[in-house]
Amino acid sequence: MADLTDLRGIPAARARLEARELDLIDQARRAGATWGEIADALGLGSRQAAEQRRLRLVAAVRAAPSEPDEYGEKIAELRKSALDLHRRVGADRRWDRRFTRAVLVRETLAAVPGATGGALFALVEAVTTDLDAAAASAERPLPATTRAAVDRLRQALAAASPKH
């Protein structure tokens, strides 16, 4: 019988690739690329196909395989909340101009898909610290849906905290 170890790694590899593709599409949009240009870069036939691909990727990333049992449901929820915020940030064409460390927050969130439990925890703590600094300095307010995603991330971080 063939060794199935490599096959077992395919779902996680696919999830990482889909998260990366979504991130690249969002980066291109933030940089001003049109949906037609993105469709051409992906080898798709139309701008509508590119938009639909992004929507499929969002759904796929949201439904990515759950965390291994050793990390538990709370870490899985933390990752899900961080990915949700990452998608919202990626879709916000003005994000990089919202506050001083906005680019750093976006880039930190981009590391979430491949982060292990401890690294994920550190990434989310760094993001919330940067978001707290932005709120304290009264820079541009975040859209309500993004604020709600940040609140869910904070709740997931508190629930997953070893102190909790």
Provide mean pLDDT across the span 120-125.
89
58, 88 Cβ separation under 8 angstroms: no
pLDDT tens-digit map of 126-140: 999 999 888 877 677
Provide mean pLDDT across the span 132-152.
85
Are 82 and 36 in the same domain?
no
Are 159 and 108 in the same domain?
yes
pLDDT tens-digit map of 47-96: 899 988 888 887 777 666 554 443 467 888 898 999 999 989 988 888 98
Are 57 and 95 in the same domain?
no
- pLDDT-based confidence at 105, cuts 50/70/90? very high
Are 47 and 118 in the same domain?
no
Number of domains within the chain = 2
CA distance 111 to 105: 10
Are 108 and 137 in the same domain?
yes
pLDDT tens-digit map of 3-42: 777 777 777 778 888 888 888 888 888 889 999 999 999 9
CA distance 102 to 85: 12
Q: What is the model's pLDDT at position 71? A: 47
Q: Is the pTM of this model over 0.75?
A: no
Are 29 and 85 in the same domain?
no
Are 20 and 101 in the same domain?
no
CA dihedral 61, 114, 110, 136 (to 10 degrees): 110
Give the range of the structural domain holding residue 9, as residue numbers without chain letter. 1-65
Are 161 and 99 in the same domain?
yes
Q: What is the model's pLDDT at position 27? A: 86
